[in-house]
Structure 1
Amino acid sequence: MKPFAFLDSKRRFTALCICMVVIVAGVFLRLIWLQVVQADRLKQLTKSQLTAEYIRGTPRGRIVDRDGEEMAVSIMTGSLYADPEMMQDEQDEKNKQTVQRDVRRLSADLLAPVLKTDAQKLYGIFTGGGRFVWLKRTMEPKEAAQVQKIIKDNDLKGLHFLEESKRYYTKKRAAAQILGFIGTDDKGLSGLEYQLDDVLKGSETTYSKLHDAVGKQLLGLMVNDPGHELQPKQEKLPTVYLTLDSKIQYVLEDAMDDAMERTKAKGAAAIIMDPYTGEILGMASRPTFDPNNFGKYSSDTWTNRAVSMIYEPGSVFKPIVGCMGLTEGIITPDTLIQDNGRIKIADRVIYNWDGEGMGTVPFSTVIKFSINTGMVQLGMKLGADRLISYAKKFGFGEPTGIELPGEEGGILYNPKDMYEPDVATMAIGQGVAVTPLQE
């Protein structure tokens, strides 16, 4: 045996060993990279590929009148969505051939009449790619049943339902601005639905679904919170009781509609209140809307004018000024007032509503016949500071604090900015602004 042949063999063995060490080291380093450095990222990637989240909620709480009669209720109903990538038939395992039909086109043609939309528009959604697209939220139970039957009878892939809460306003337009309405995500957008959203909103539980590479579900629903039961117990839904009386509300709204028709008014508001407790028994605003289909109405109809409309109260404010005078001891019901039909304050002349004077009359007559000149005389004796101070004590110039959004506070002068004519006109209910609720 030649010595050189032995050396060549030794070199080849050494080179092979080095190569094996390098390969093993490379594999080892790669494993460290994947299982240590990239571990968190790969876990999240795997989870996103194999799991899908499913949110199951409970219905929104009820709103009822003072007698417990339902005015707003919710039920769980289906919301239809599509997974466009899965809208295709599976491959036939026997002959390895795909069934020749266009699931997307078939789905669009069958669902369009039920969803009341254009088939071509649906087909465009189905061919647009992606893994999730809403087709219709909170469907009516009858409508959802029709869609489920179509999916089952035609074995349509990639179409699924999620349970969501659907709101119903049982009295339709009655107390619409008070109740308000919610959006498609069960979030209050107006009225008490907005103001008390945290109280009324149903709870949600997030589940995960395991599926394989082609989207088939492998296991049942799993609650993401390990300490949570798989089948959550039925929760007692919150209920909001109003001071409103549905029967009184109906009569009030009927009268409002009649008044609007007779007067051709553009807007109005009315309130029925218990004078002993201050409870609101009825509150109506016009124009109005049906909160079950609020999107079909202009936003102007959503406004609750009973708490947001401001205007000069006029003669309604006179008894308030009278109370100020009685409290301060400036007048009594029998105090005599000279009424000449007109009175001049600085450069302004203020007349009675009929331009006539009644001579010397007691203050009770001033109130009874709404005599401007008598009220101006009282207002001038009270002065700006006392007028404004008492007005604030009566609650004018700031919101009442009723649990309704959008309440205005009205307008009051700063007494430092008032001149004599301002004091005089405020005494007859001008130059001050209030809401129907404040009045």
Structure 2
Amino acid sequence: MKKYKKIVRLIPLDQRRFKFIYIFSLLLIFCLFGRLVKLQVFNASDLQRKARLIQSSKTNSLKKRRSIVDRNNRLIAYDKPLYKLWAHPKHFNFPGDSINKVRSIEEVIEKLSPILDINDEILLGKFNNKMSGIKVLDEIPEEKAEKIKNLQISGLDLFKYSQRYYPQGELYSNLVGFVNDENKGSAGLELHLENQIKVFNKINFIKRGGDGTPLPDNSAPSDFIYDYKTLGLTIDSKLQKASFNALSKQVSKWKAKKGFAIVMDVTNGRILSLVTVPSYDPNKFWQYDSELFRGWYSQDLFEPGSTFKPINLALALEEKVIQKDGLVEDVGKINVGGWTLYNWDKKGNGYIDYPKVLQVSSNVAMIKIMQNLDPPIYWDWLKKLGINKNLETDLFESTAGQLKRKDLFVNQSIEPAVTSFGKGFSISPLKLVQLHAALANGGFEVTPHVTSTFEERVNKNSKKQFFSQEVSKTVLEWMESVVDEGSGSGAKIEGYRIAGKTGTSQKALNGSYTSKKVCSFVATLPVNDPKYAVLVVVDEPSKSYAYGSTVAVPVAREIIESLIVIEKIPPNIKDHGMIVKKP
């Protein structure tokens, strides 16, 4: 059977339909071309920017300031990670719920309340019928934030940030200071060393592919290493606490206005402890009077009184106007330029040697000793010691001491006379401990400091020498007699050679002295190998019988006892003939 092929006739396309399709196609091509031109030419820069945002992520360190640690790496200040909790009730949804289900605020609060340890009604009051953008709570610690994350509730957002925290509270506040609400240093080292503490992290960008995988680029490995440095202090926290407790107890006992205590290494100026009372909690700085934020130990000035007598004796020895084995007559009073000056007890001591001058703290004897030194030379020495200069340190900016003009000092005999027993001029407590450090270390100037970076900078400069080794040794031995036999006997510790000098000076107001006092005591130990200087200053004790020996010495003794244990200072067995019996 034959097979036949079917012949299909082609019907010509309708001309109008053909023209319509042709014109429509042209228009479509022109539209696509126009769109392409717009994207590639006119919108190119904007699209490139959007693409970079999608393809790259910005990394920045949460940490804003470096941690501050003591010499044993105990934390003093650090950036503590905290969280803010935001809620969007219109999106509340629990794990396992259908996508369209919205949980009530009460249901969410029921889960949050046990974690945040806040009453349900208090939490409910934070919502105020809002459905989005509600700040529920601030300062949520990391462990609680992790529990909230584990709830996996849609509509809850946790925003991480850092906040400066001071774990040791008031112990370091007068030294370290605090940061304000904008995370900027506002007092103490936080302010003075802002550039060393603040973290200057550059912003890094990581390029990513469509699936989020990081793409290779020209970034160096070091570009993504965050700042993990710390600001290390020379302070020892154990000694700091012991000093703070001893000073606080005495300031409270004597109802004093304030107090200061410092322990310093005389060989290099490292400060091992520096405390002031009253203090404040830097975590709640807004609750305190701003007067407490001042570093008065370097900014306030006082007349050092008898604690300056050893310095004057060193000047007299250096100028050879007295001999080591000399004597001086003390009749209890002396007339200088029409002024009658007395000893503190208005009693005479007869002919006494120089150790005895310090033991009884004789003003009259000191005046007679320093009258052997020409006033111009005396004044030049005071200037050389830096009495009227700012003290360069990494602590607060210091106030320059006050010293009379040279012409007044030279032409008015009363000026060198009162200077001989620590009156008529004023210095900061920090300056006083610096001078006694020089007296202890063989005469060399050291700069009080609390950071190693500052020490490295200072060590590049050559040290000034004020006193000879022989003069330093002599005066230190004279000061030792004050602790062994004089007003500093309360600081005597069996087996240890301790040098010291008490001071009690009246405070001046509007050019005349008042009944208010400053009681002080400075000590150096051990005398056989000087290493540490301890200074205690108590301002305006209000009880009777307030002297350096009764107010400041007991504080110094407690501090020295702690220092001996912490620094493992061995007793001087040979000189004291100590015998240790076997059990």
Query: Partner residue of 1:357?
Result: 348
Q: What SS does the aligned partner of 2:190 have?
A: helix
Q: Which residue of 2 aligns with 1:190?
A: 187
Aligned to 1:63: 68
The answer for the alignment partner of 2:424 in structure 1 is 431
Structure 1: stretches of 5+ with no match in the other structure: 1-23, 91-96, 211-217
Q: Is the 8 A contact 2:391 2:400 kept in 1?
A: yes
Rounded Cα–Cα distance in structure 2 between residues aligned with 1:331 and 1:304: 39
Q: Per the alignment, do residues 274 and 345 of structure 1 end up closer, same or farther by CA in structure 2, a change over 3 Å counting?
A: same
- 2:17 aligns with none
Give the structure 1 partner of residue 358 of structure 2: 367
Match of 2:312 among 310, 321, 328: 321
Query: In 2 relative to 1, CA 423–112 (structure 1 residues): closer, same or farther, beyond 3 Å?
Result: farther
TM-fit CA distance, 1:69 = 3.6
- Work out whether residues 328 and 353 of structure 2, in 8 Å CA contact, stay in contact via their aligned partners in 1: yes
Task: Answer yes or no: is the 8 Å Cα contact 2:188–2:396 preserved in 1.
Answer: yes
- Give the whole-Å Cα distance in 1 for the aligned partners of 2:280 and 2:372: 48
Alignment of 1:23-62 (within 5 A): 55-58=60-63, 60-62=65-67
Q: Is the 8 A contact 1:105 1:123 kept in 2?
A: no
Judge which range, 113-122 or 303-312, deviates more.
113-122
Work out whether 1:415 is the aligned partner of 2:409.
no
Superposed CA RMSD = 4.9
Partner secondary structure for residue 424 of structure 1: helix
1:7 corresponds to which residue? none
- Aligned-partner residue type, residue 161 of structure 1: F
Given the superposition, is the C-alpha separation of residues 395 and 160 from structure 1 closer, same or farther in structure 2, using an over 3 Å criterion? Answer: same
2: distance between equivalents of 1:231 and 1:105?
46
How far apart, in 1, do the equivalents of 2:59 and 2:382 lie?
56
SS at match of 2:272: strand
1:201 to 198, 203, 220: 198
Go from structure 1 to structure 2 and tell me whether the alpha carbon gap of 1:342 and 1:42 turns closer, same or farther (over 3 Å shift): farther
TM-score, normalised to structure 2's length?
Answer: 0.54
Contact 2:204 2:223 (C-alpha < 8 Å) held by counterparts:
no
Q: Per-residue CA shift, 1:395-437, capped at 9, x if unaligned?
A: 4233432321243333222223443322222221112112222
| CA deviation vs aligned residue, 1:2-33 (integer Å, no higher than 9, x gap) | xxxxxxxxxxxxxxxxxxxxxx9xxx9xx99x
Corresponding residue number in structure 1 for 2:533 = none
In structure 2, relative to structure 1, the CA distance for the partners of 1:113 and 1:140 (3 Å cut) is: closer
Fraction of identical pairs, as percent: 24
The residue that corresponds to 1:136 in the other structure is 138
In structure 2, C-alpha distance between the alignment counterparts of 1:126 and 1:390, rounded to whole Å? 75
Give the C-alpha shift of residue 267 in structure 1. 0.7
Assess if the C-alpha contact under 8 Å between 2:106 and 2:124 holds in 1. Answer: no
The residue type equivalent to 1:250 in the other structure is: K
Deviation at 1:315, TM superposition (A): 0.8
CA shift for structure 1 position 313: 0.5
Match of 1:266 in 2: 257
The CA distance in 1 between the partners of 2:331 and 2:222, in whole Å, is 84
**SS across alignment from 1:244:** coil
Match of 2:185, SS state, is coil
- Is residue 208–residue 221 contact of structure 1 (8 Å, CA) maintained in 2? no
Which residue identity does 2:247 align to in structure 1? M
Determine the structure 2 residue equivalent to 1:79: 83
* Residues 144, 348 of structure 1: alpha-carbon distance in 2 compared, 3 angstrom cutoff: farther
The TM-score normalised by the length of structure 1 is 0.69
Question: What per-residue deviation string (whole Å, max 9, x for no partner) do you get for residues 352-388 of structure 1?
Answer: 1111223344444333322212222344443543333
For the 8 Å contact 1:334–1:364, the answer to whether it is kept is: no
Q: Which runs of 5+ in 2 are unaligned?
A: 1-29, 93-98, 433-583
Alignment of 1:2-401 (within 5 A): 55-58=60-63, 60-66=65-71, 68-72=72-76, 74=78, 77-80=81-84, 88-89=90-91, 114=116, 122-123=126-127, 136=138, 139-145=140-146, 147-148=148-149, 152=152, 154-156=153-155, 159-164=157-162, 166-169=164-167, 171-204=168-201, 206=203, 227=219, 232-233=224-225, 235=226, 237-401=228-392
